[in-house]
Amino acid sequence: MIQRIRGIIIYLIKLIYTKIDPLGFARAQGVIMGKNVHFYGMKPNMFSTEPWLITLGDNVYITADVLFLTHDGGTLILRQEVPDLELTAPITVGNDVYIGVRTIILPGAKIGNRCIIGAGSIVAGEIPDNSVAVGVPARVIKTTDEYLEKAKRNSLHFGHLTAAEKEIELKEYFHVKL
């Protein structure tokens, strides 16, 4: 019972740390990070058990419930046959990358520079530079340049506003009355 209470207290401390200083928490775990990394909705277990095998480049945006898995736990049931079986590999994320909500990044994944990973994707293997990748498993559906051209055509042009200003403009644009 004491172990359980201790575990809960440690988890709560880590949860608070992720909210107060997500960058500091990631660095303390051993994640290698470039400049201008942003976390939105970080949780204490997002980096798996080998966070020091994760490298994030510059200008990376990681949204809520993203999970970095650096090992394959499926080997546990096979260790009766092969006691030293271990599948662990580093994860590398390039520069100028956006990773959507609830994405899972598997061992050995490499995400190139200037990439967008869609929400709910599972990334295995390599995503080349200048790619938009989505799905299970994630696959490239277009270049980032193609994404940009479509985004420019469909933009509401509120991206430069503060959060409060954007909220006002969006409510007006979509005729939301509160």
Q: Which domains does the chain have, with CATH numbers?
A: 2-143 (2.160.10.10)
The residues pairing with 88 across neighbouring beta strands, listed in sequence order, are 71
Segments in 33-162 forming alpha helices (H): 144-154
Q: What is the mean pLDDT of residues 26-49?
A: 94
- Predicted confidence at residue 2, as pLDDT, reads 86
Residues 6+ apart with CB under 8 A from 35: 58, 59
Per-residue pLDDT tens for 105-121? 999 999 999 999 999 99
How crowded is residue 162: how many other Cβ atoms within 10 Å of its Cβ? 8
DSSP for residue 141: E
- Predicted confidence at residue 63, as pLDDT, reads 97
pLDDT confidence band for 14 (50 / 70 / 90):
confident
Per-residue pLDDT tens for 38-97? 999 998 899 999 999 999 999 999 999 999 999 999 999 999 999 999 999 999 999 999
Q: Which two tokens stand for residue 12?
A: 């709560």
Q: Is the pLDDT of residue 178 over 80?
A: no
Q: Which two tokens stand for residue 87?
A: 């599948």
- Predicted confidence at residue 174, as pLDDT, reads 94
Length of the chain: 178
Ramachandran angles phi, psi of 98, nearest 5°:
-115, 130
Percent of the chain exceeding pLDDT 90 equals 84
* Pairing assessment for the beta strands 54-56 and 37-39 based on DSSP bridges: unpaired
- Going by C-alpha positions, the residue among 95, 88, 40, 87 that lies closest to residue 63 is 40
* Pairing assessment for the beta strands 54-56 and 32-33 based on DSSP bridges: parallel
Q: What is the mean pLDDT of residues 158-162?
A: 94
In degrees to the nearest 10, what's the CA dihedral of 21, 59, 103, 108? -100
- Predicted confidence at residue 92, as pLDDT, reads 98
- Predicted confidence at residue 47, as pLDDT, reads 95
Distance from C-alpha of 126 to C-alpha of 53, rounded to nearest angstrom? 16
Radius of gyration of the chain (CA): 19
Q: What is the mean pLDDT of residues 8-36?
A: 90
Segments in 21-162 forming alpha helices (H): 22-29, 144-154
Lowest mean pLDDT among 1-15, 26-40, 113-127, 148-162: 1-15
- Predicted confidence at residue 97, as pLDDT, reads 98
pTM of the model: 0.90
